[in-house]
A and B are shown apart, each in its own frame.
Chain A
Amino acid sequence: MPLFTALTLLLACEQGFVDPSREYGPTVADAPAKVSRVHVPTSLGVVDTPRRDIHGAPIGVSCATCHAGPGEDAIVVGDEGNPEQMHGTIELLHGGLACDACHEPTDRRLLHLADGAKIEMAEAMKLCAQCHGPQARDYQKGAHGGMTGYWDLRQGERVRNHCVECHTPHSPKPPQVQPAPRAVDRVVFPASETH
């Protein structure tokens, strides 16, 4: 009987054992911070044409294909007299803005800021930020806009979405979408439906 008691006590003691070496994972070295970079989408500086590829997506043409350089008439290909041909797919629903509010009239490959300074298409976010200050601030602080990668920049880099990946600049309000399928559990289908 004393042996049994001793064994029970021994087991009881061991029950509370926690391996302290398993409490935490390895400490992360204070490595040089990785970058949080903005993804530059290929849709920038590309206009959708009415033509579609085999997946049904519109075929895009770079602005520079027709607007070769500085000068309002620097058009090398296409119907100079018929801009609708290329721009007809654009639905302009952006606060009543006209094309030239953002696009640089003297060089159609570029955009311009409010003070007239010319900027590359890739820098479009500077232009967006001029009107949408609160959103730009939230974006800088990481509270607006999707991202992928690492929350911990010590361990890996983060890729931020560009404004135009979610907001088509010509009609920025995102369209309605069909939601992903719902779960088929007892909460979704209450008893009144299943019995």
Chain B
Amino acid sequence: MEDTSRRTTLKALGATLGAAAFARAMAPLAAWPEDLSIDELLQRHYKELSRDDMVRVLRRLEQETLDQYGAVVTIDDVRPIPEVQFGYALNLSVCVGCRKCAEACHIENNHDRATNQSYIRVLEIKNGSVDLAMGTVDYDHAVPKKGRSYMPVQCHQCDNAPCVSVCPIEATWKEPDGIVVVDYNWCIGCRYCEAACPYHARRFNWHKPEISAEEINPDQAYLSNRVRPQGVMEKCTFCLHRTRKGRLPACLEACPTGARVFGNMLDPNSEIRWVLENKRTFVLKEDLGTRPRFFYFFDK
């Protein structure tokens, strides 16, 4: 009697612990987010999707945008153009700080309307200084203000990108044409990349982006401007949904002073090459060794 009692007790204890552990392990299922589909949960990393998988994912995301935002959009998987390496340069001599680039980015990239978010931050700094810490981004007076100069900062698409190397799950990487991208469906939102970026170029979706159906830009790509989910990182992609189809980035088209120069650095006749070869260019925080593809230059 005593023998069986001891054994039964241990069994019961074991079973109880096992059941409790199992229940604990399954607990996250109880907190299953309503907008998370099985397909999304099981979706593989961007690079591991076959063409057929990708098509299914794109159609699902289009349907989700329609369900959640009421907007009919086209999401493409726009891949790099062979033998193209993108480069971008900005003329600090003519930038007036009007934030038209940031505004165009906000509209083009389907940013959250409430926060007026954008991938571009325009710094106002004292003339003759490139002391970013002393710069302000919240100016609201008429520009250009006397004695001030302006410096738009966005993702520099670094060749040695700290944001890429810190990502614990390879949710962000550098593409063959130089653009650093994020798989928004793979990102876990740890924000390591945001902390690692010396240019403060990455943004976090604290909330589900709010944007009305008629304001949504329907020309979208998986790796760029599709409406991002809550809790993931996002960043400038040099408008890859435009630039990989040969078009100029939205911020360049919006610039009223023509301060921005964009193009293929492998093409010796391109505008960007002329700037790099003939103008006094510099990169931000060169000493960090990030090797940006975004250059600043002066006219004189």
Contact = CB atoms under 8 A, between A and B. Distances in A.
A139 to B, nearest CB: 8
B227 interface: no
A184 B278 CA distance: 38
Nearest to A156: B246
Interface stretch (B9-17, B57-65, B78-86): B78-86
Given A150-B247, A188-B138, A179 B143 contact: yes
A179 to B, nearest CB: 4
Contacts of B257: 146, 166, 174
Q: Chain B interface secondary structure, helix, strand, loop or mixed?
A: loop
A19 B47 CA distance: 7
B285 interface: no
A141 B247 contact: no
B256 interface: yes
Nearest to A159: B253
Contacts of B100: 180
A176 B248 contact: no
Given A25-B81, A149-B247, A182-B137, A19 B278 contact: no
Q: Chain A interface secondary structure, helix, strand, loop or mixed?
A: loop
A147 B245 CA distance: 17
B80 A25 contact: yes
Contacts of B129: none
B271 interface: yes
A158 B103 CA distance: 22
Given A25-B79, A138-B299, A146-B257, A182 B252 contact: no
A151 B258 contact: no
A161 B79 CA distance: 30
B271 A142 contact: yes
B102 interface: yes
A143 interface: yes
Contacts of B142: 176-179
A176 B144 contact: yes
Contacts of B82: 24-25, 27-28
A137 to B, nearest CB: 9
B192 to A, nearest CB: 17
Contacts of A156: 246-247
A181 interface: yes
Given A143-B274, A155-B247, 5 more contacts: A146-B253, A147-B258, A176-B144, A179-B140, A182-B138
Interface in B263-287: 263-264, 270-271, 274-275, 278-279
Interface string A144-166: 11111111101110100100001
B97 interface: yes
Contact of A151 (B200, B255, B262): B262
B21 to A, nearest CB: 21
Contact of A187 (B84, B137, B274): B137
B72 interface: no
Contact of A24 (B48, B81, B89, B96): B81
Nearest to B261: A143
